[in-house]
Structure 1
Amino acid sequence: MNTLKHSTLTLLATLGLQAEAASVWKVSNATNSLYLGGTIHVLSASDYPLPVAYDQAYTASDQVVFETDIMALSQPSFQQKLQYTMTYSDDTKIHHVLDKPTYLNLFQYLQSRGIQSETIEHFKPSGLSLLLSMQELQRLGMNSIGVDAFYAEKAQQDNKIQAWLETPDEQIRILSSLNQIDPNDLINYTLEDIGGMAESLQALKQSWRDGHLEKLAKLELIELQQDYPAIYHTLITERNRGWLTQIEHLISTPETEFIMVGALHLAGPDSLLLSLRNKGYRIEQL
Structure 2
Amino acid sequence: MKRTGAMFLAAVVAATTVLAGSSVWRAELDGEVVYLGGTCHMLRASDFPLPAEFDAAYAEADTLYFETDLNAMQSPAVQMKILEEGMLGDGTVLSDHLKPETWAALEEHCAKHGLPLAAFAQMKPWLLTVTLAVLEWQKNGAVQEGVDMHYHALAEKDGKTTAGLEDIDAHLQFVISIGDGQEDEMLLSTLRDLETLPQMVSELIAAWRSGDIETMDTAMMADMRKEFPKVYTDLVTGRNHDWVPQVLAMFKQPGTEYVLVGVGHFGGEEGLIALLEAEGVTIELVEVEE
TM over 0.5: yes
2:132 alignment counterpart: 132
Question: Given that residues 133 and 194 in structure 2 are in contact (C-alpha distance below 8 angstroms), is that contact kept between their aligned partners in structure 1?
Answer: yes
Residue pair 1:125, 1:187 contacting (<8 A) in 2 also: yes
- When residues 195 and 186 of structure 1 are mapped into structure 2, their CA distance, relative to the original with a 3 A threshold, is same
In 1, distance between residues paired with 2:192 and 2:229? 15
Aligned-pair distance for 1:179?
5.2
**TM-score normalised by structure 1 residue count:** 0.90
Q: Which string of whole-angstrom CA distances, capped at 9 and with x for unpartnered residues, describes residues 78-116 of structure 1?
A: 111110111112112221111112221111111111122
Greater Cα shift, 217-226 or 173-182: 173-182
**Deviation string, structure 1 residues 198-253 (Cα, Å, up to 9, x no partner):** 11112212211111111111211111211222222222112111111211222222
SS in 1 for 2:35: strand
Report what 2:193 is aligned to. Answer: 193
CA contact (8 A) 2:179 2:231 kept: no
Instruction: Show the counterpart of 1:177.
Output: 177
Q: For structure 2, which runs of at least 5 residues remain unmatched after alignment?
A: 1-13
Counterpart for residue 248 of structure 2: 248
What are the within-5 Å matches in structure 2 for residues 220-259 of structure 1?
220-259=220-259
Moved over 4 A (4+): none
Counterpart of 1:23?
A: 23
* Aligned residue number for residue 283 of structure 1: 283
Distance 1:129 1:29 in 2: 40
Aligned to 1:47: 47
Using CA pairs below 8 Å that are at least 6 residues apart, which structure has the higher relative contact order? 2
Number of equivalences: 272
Partner amino acid for 2:250?
L
For residues 172 and 181 of structure 1, the distance between their equivalents in structure 2, rounded to whole angstroms, comes to 18
Corresponding letter in the other structure for 1:180: D
**Matches of 1:101 and 1:20, distance apart in 2:** 46
SS in 2 for 1:206: helix
**Structure 2 CA distance for aligned equivalents of residues 151 and 159 of structure 1:** 12
What does residue 264 of structure 1 align with? Answer: 264
Superposition deviation, residue 54 in structure 1 = 0.8
Aligned to 1:150: 150
Q: 1:230 to 1:185 in 2, by over 3 A?
A: farther
CA contact (8 A) 2:34 2:257 kept: yes
Shift of 1:181: 3.1
Q: Which runs of 5+ in 1 are unaligned?
A: 1-7
* TM-score, structure 2 as length reference: 0.89
- Conserved 8 A contact 1:181-1:231: no
Residue aligning to 1:71: 71
> Structure 2: how far apart are the matches of 1:106 and 1:144?
24
The Cα RMSD (Å) is 1.8
Compute the displacement of 1:37 (Å). Answer: 0.4
- Indicate yes or no: 2:103 matched with 1:103: yes
CA distance in 2, matches of 1:258, 1:59: 10
TM-superposed deviation, 1:120: 0.5
SS at match of 1:21: strand
Determine the C-alpha separation between the residues in 1 that align with 2:94 and 2:225: 25
Identity %: 30
What amino acid does structure 2 have at the position aligned with 1:172?
L
8 Å Cα contact 2:240/2:270 also seen in 1: yes
Shift of 1:58: 0.7
CA distance in 1, matches of 2:172, 2:211: 29
